[in-house]
């Protein structure tokens, strides 16, 4: 037999005088066969420049070893230079999947297309999905639940649906930020949230409210404003807060990017930070450290979050076990308070 006709596992099996399944295991470095047999088969494969046809193998096994990350539809646009949160999260997911032998595919799903998930699953292009839950991705989430697709979501899980999720402890984060500002002697602490329909934002508000109540205070509507996590919305919401409550002396902002926008507005209005107004952000993105005024913030480890999303999705694909993981957050104190 010459090298030209060694094209299949069966060809290698005939040369090695073993079964096709033994060849498959040897080329996949299985521990189920002896090192001697494995080395002999791998040497034959190298000699004949043979490689496993990965797409054909995956088709046969019904697996692609690829996971789709569903790019969220929100502002700032996902993967733009402004979406630091999404890029940090995507990096952690990619590393987590790589460690498990999976590839990552980024897909842009149309919220109005009910068949988008079927298209990826039925074609065998992906084994499952990862998405970030926002008010804009609710239709994606419901579509995946409806068809029983393997998926996992970042964010507080919807109470009426069963699916895998990973989230930071948002109630504790809101409470830590507000307690810190109270301990700094601040009396009129504003809440600058992300989208008010988002469960994550609602949990952060709950922590804010709990801290105020524990200090014998109540929530003042004039100290509340909401944005969409973008820099521009941080600017707009901070302008509204100053118009509603010009005497505010602290602000808890639901993202670092919005917080940088809020700091810009405060400085434009002649407010000194932190002397006149103290500010706390959320996430601990690099912008919080390298901003002109380093930002006190609530740190949630997005690299860890990405790895957990990858690991728990693959576990679900392999076992069917639904997991809902909440991991702790921490307060990082810098110059803005």
Q: Does the residue 58 lie in any domain?
A: no
The answer on 162 and 281 residing in a single domain is no
Quote the pLDDT of residue 73: 59
The answer on 178 and 162 residing in a single domain is no
The answer on 294 and 306 residing in a single domain is no
Interval 166-186 mean pLDDT:
98
Kindly tell me if the per-residue pLDDT of 79 is higher than 80.
no
The answer on 201 and 150 residing in a single domain is no
Quote the pLDDT of residue 175: 98
Q: Does the residue 125 lie in any domain?
A: yes
The answer on 277 and 312 residing in a single domain is no
Quote the pLDDT of residue 54: 46
The answer on 292 and 314 residing in a single domain is no
Tell me 63's DSSP state.
-
Lowest-confidence pick of 152-156, 212-216, 319-323: 319-323
The answer on 150 and 115 residing in a single domain is yes
- Identify which has the larger pLDDT, 180 or 64: 180
Mean pLDDT of the chain: 88
Residue 191 belongs to what H/E stretch?
Answer: strand 189-193
Lowest-confidence pick of 42-51, 98-107, 267-276: 42-51
Quote the pLDDT of residue 52: 57
The answer on 293 and 177 residing in a single domain is yes
Q: Give the separation between CA 90 and CA 213, rounded to whole angstroms.
A: 37
Quote the pLDDT of residue 74: 52
The answer on 46 and 22 residing in a single domain is yes
CATH code (residue 281) = 3.40.50.2300
Kindly tell me if the per-residue pLDDT of 51 is higher than 70.
no
Cβ atoms of 324 and 159 within 8 Å: the answer is no
Q: Does the residue 130 lie in any domain?
A: yes
The answer on 122 and 46 residing in a single domain is no
pLDDT per position as a tens digit, 210-222:
999 999 999 999 9
The answer on 74 and 114 residing in a single domain is yes
CATH code (residue 39) = 1.10.260.40
Task: List the alpha helices (DSSP H) in the chain.
Answer: 9-16, 20-27, 35-47, 54-61, 84-99, 116-122, 138-147, 170-183, 199-214, 231-244, 256-268, 286-290, 302-319
Quote the pLDDT of residue 114: 67
What residues form DSSP beta bridges with 130? 69, 152
Q: Does the residue 211 lie in any domain?
A: yes
The answer on 203 and 98 residing in a single domain is no
- Which of 59-63, 145-149, 150-154 is the most confident on average? 150-154
Interval 15-27 mean pLDDT:
83
Kindly tell me if the per-residue pLDDT of 77 is higher than 60.
no
Interval 280-304 mean pLDDT:
94
Kindly tell me if the per-residue pLDDT of 59 is higher than 60.
no
- Identify which has the larger pLDDT, 228 or 59: 228
Number of structural domains in the chain: 3
Kindly tell me if the per-residue pLDDT of 277 is higher than 50.
yes
Quote the pLDDT of residue 63: 67
Q: Does the residue 334 lie in any domain?
A: no
Interval 182-206 mean pLDDT:
97
Lowest-confidence pick of 21-25, 286-290, 306-310, 316-320: 21-25
- Identify which has the larger pLDDT, 56 or 148: 148
Kindly tell me if the per-residue pLDDT of 248 is higher than 50.
yes
Quote the pLDDT of residue 82: 56
Q: Does the residue 99 lie in any domain?
A: yes
When pLDDT is cut at 50, 70 and 90, the band that residue 147 belongs to is confident
Kindly tell me if the per-residue pLDDT of 60 is higher than 50.
no
Domain hosting residue 311, numbered range: 66-168+302-327
Q: Does the residue 136 lie in any domain?
A: yes
- Assign 278 to helix, strand or coil: strand
Q: Does the residue 246 lie in any domain?
A: yes
């Amino acid at each position: 037999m010459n090298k030209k006709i060694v094209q299949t596992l069966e060809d290698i099996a005939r040369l090695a005088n073993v079964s096709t399944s033994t060849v498959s295991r040897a080329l996949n470095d299985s521990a189920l066969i002896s090192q001697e047999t494995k080395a002999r088969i791998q040497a034959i494969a190298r000699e004949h420049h043979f490689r496993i046809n990965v797409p054909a193998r995956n088709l046969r096994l019904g697996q692609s070893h690829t996971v789709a990350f569903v790019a969220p539809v929100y502002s700032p646009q996902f993967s733009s230079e402004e979406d630091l949160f999404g890029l940090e999260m995507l990096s952690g997911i990619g590393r987590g999947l790589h460690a498990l032998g999976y590839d990552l595919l980024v897909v842009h799903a149309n919220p109005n297309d009910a068949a988008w998930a079927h298209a990826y699953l039925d074609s065998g292009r992906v084994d499952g999905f990862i998405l970030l839950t926002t008010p804009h991705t609710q239709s994606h989430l419901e579509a995946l639940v409806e068809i029983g697709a393997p998926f996992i979501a970042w964010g507080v899980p919807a109470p009426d649906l069963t699916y895998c999720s990973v989230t930071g402890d948002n109630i504790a984060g809101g409470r830590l930020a507000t307690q810190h500002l109270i301990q700094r002697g601040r009396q009129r602490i504003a809440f600058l949230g992300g989208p008010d329909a988002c469960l994550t934002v609602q949990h952060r508000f709950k922590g804010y409210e709990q801290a105020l109540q524990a200090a014998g205070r109540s929530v003042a509507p004039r100290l509340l404003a909401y944005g969409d996590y973008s820099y521009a919305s941080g600017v707009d919401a901070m302008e509204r807060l100053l118009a509603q409550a010009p005497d505010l002396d602290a602000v808890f902002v639901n993202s670092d990017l919005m917080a940088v926008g809020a700091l810009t507005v405060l400085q434009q209005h002649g407010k000194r930070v932190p002397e006149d107004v103290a500010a706390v952000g959320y996430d601990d993105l690099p912008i919080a450290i390298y901003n002109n005024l380093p930002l006190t913030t609530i740190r949630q480890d997005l690299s860890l979050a990405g790895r957990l999303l990858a690991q728990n999705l693959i576990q679900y694909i392999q076992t069917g076990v639904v997991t809902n993981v909440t991991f702790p957050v921490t307060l990082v104190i810098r110059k803005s308070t």
